[in-house]
Amino acid sequence: MEIKYYKCGGETFELNLKPLPFKCKRCKEKEALVEIPSQGIKVCPDCFNQFFENRLKNTIEKYKMFRKAKKIGVFVSGGKDSAALLFGLKKIFPDLSLKAIYLNLGIKYYSELAEETVKTLCQDIDVPLYVYNLPQEEGYCIDEFVHTMFKNKICSVCGVIKRYLFSKIAKKLEIDVIATGHHLDDTVSTMLTLFFQGDFEGIVKLGPVLPPIYLGQATKVKPLYHTPEKEIFYYVALNKIPIERCGCPHGEITPSKKNKKILEIFEQENRQFKYQLLSVFVKKLIPLLKTHPDYRFSLPEVKNCIKCGEITTSADEVCSRCKRVSLLEKIPDKTLEVTPEEFKKFIQTQPRESWVVFDLREKEDFEKGAFEGALWIDPKIVDSSSRKLAKLFKAYRDKTLFFYCYTGRLSYLLTLKLRKIGIKAFNIGSPEKLIS
């Protein structure tokens, strides 16, 4: 059985599960099925699970993550990391007071699907779920930031919004510890990125436990701090944990993701490389940085944001979230998708030469029947770089472009990419009504 998982930014994980012609190297009884990548030994599913869960438990106990916790909130995204964390915590600590929290960020063709996956997971393992729907609660969604100066830094904006909501929701639900799915690869690649950027203060803050900076704020912990990303995927696959297998349409190739690829190359030569690098940072570099005369640890002065009332450390008393959301208030029209009826109404009132409609279905389906006047383009074009897309659509920069596919998902992704390079593009939702 071959299992694939597509990450944001295009990275793919694959696992081919088939019995190996020898016994498990740990129990020496059952057939080996999968390798523990960080150890280089092939084991049976039970021994893999035991190894994974023991490391998770040891990490929690080593850093005393839940020592004083009365209620623990696990923020789940529908992806493999947070799903594995929630599943593992429930299995290892069945009496722990856990609450899963899902942030529906209004990302079209993604957030709703991920929410359904999270609901299935929580029902399967009997963990209560709290859903916060950003569009319903606050009237905006992450997609709309493609209209702002952050159009090429959506992940950055999303991070600001999520961190804001982490604290806000934790306070509302009286959660004293927030657990996130950050793993070994996340930590090491971020440390490497900050090192190259000279952000040594940022490196100091990348520990497994982030204490509150003001009274009433929840402690943030990373139980997967010592767990490699690939082994998380294997754990999810072996235990058939429900996850959303399609990546977020805003997935970006960030410096940290590029450094992950560099780390993978070194790991091929030395399977312990990531652990060794983490050890150098945690045991050598960070203690050294803390002894530097310029290093002064002090809790930042906190104030209430003059716009939303939440806690902020900003000198102008406007939190980072409010600064970004205020940009949306200046955008009169945030439309990214239209209905078939809206599309037809538009083309009836606009000159024919001012608009173009594109069909992203397979060519054989396009030839069987398409919207009159539509131009066919290869669906694979969606994977093109921004530079290539700008070149391909250069001739259409002064026109309004419409796209449709089978479900709307692929054409919406292309719409987002084109918006980020300044092309006026719209997706046509419910495309079956257009070509029926």
Looking at residue 68, which CATH number applies to its domain?
A: 3.40.50.620
Is there a domain that residue 22 lies in? no
Beta strand 219-221 with 209-210: parallel, antiparallel or unpaired?
antiparallel
What one-character DSSP code corresponds to residue 244?
A: -
Is there a domain that residue 54 lies in? no
Number of residues assigned to the chain:
436
Can you give the residue range of the structural domain that contains 83? Answer: 62-290
Let me know: does 86 contact 100? Beta carbons within 8 Å: yes
Q: Which residue has the tokens 């596919």?
A: 405
Pair (265, 350) in one structural domain: no
Beta strand 177-179 with 219-221: parallel, antiparallel or unpaired?
parallel
CATH number, domain of 347, equals 3.40.250.10
Is there a domain that residue 405 lies in? yes
**Contacts by 192-201 with C-beta closer than 8 Å and gap 24+?**
192/256, 192/259, 192/262, 192/263, 192/277, 193/255, 193/256, 193/259, 196/255, 196/259, 197/255, 200/289, 201/295
Pair (386, 278) in one structural domain: no
Pair (280, 353) in one structural domain: no
Is there a domain that residue 14 lies in? no
The whole-number pLDDT of residue 2 equals 58
Pair (282, 387) in one structural domain: no
Pair (371, 274) in one structural domain: no
Q: Rounded to an integer, what distance in angstroms lies between the CA atom of residue 418 and that of residue 403?
A: 11
Low-confidence ranges of the chain (pLDDT < 70): 1-13, 252-255, 295-299, 436
Q: Rounded to an integer, what distance in angstroms lies between the CA atom of residue 85 and that of residue 177?
A: 14
The whole-number pLDDT of residue 205 equals 84
Pair (196, 75) in one structural domain: yes
Pair (204, 74) in one structural domain: yes
Pair (284, 178) in one structural domain: yes
Phi first, then psi: give them for residue 318, nearest 5 degrees.
Answer: -120, 120
- Rounded to two decimals, the pTM is 0.91
Pair (353, 285) in one structural domain: no
Number of domains in the chain: 2
Is there a domain that residue 12 lies in? no
Let me know: does 12 contact 5? Beta carbons within 8 Å: yes
Let me know: does 431 contact 408? Beta carbons within 8 Å: yes
* Per-residue pLDDT tens digits for 342-374: 999 999 999 999 999 999 999 999 999 999 999
Pair (376, 237) in one structural domain: no
Is there a domain that residue 265 lies in? yes
Is there a domain that residue 8 lies in? no
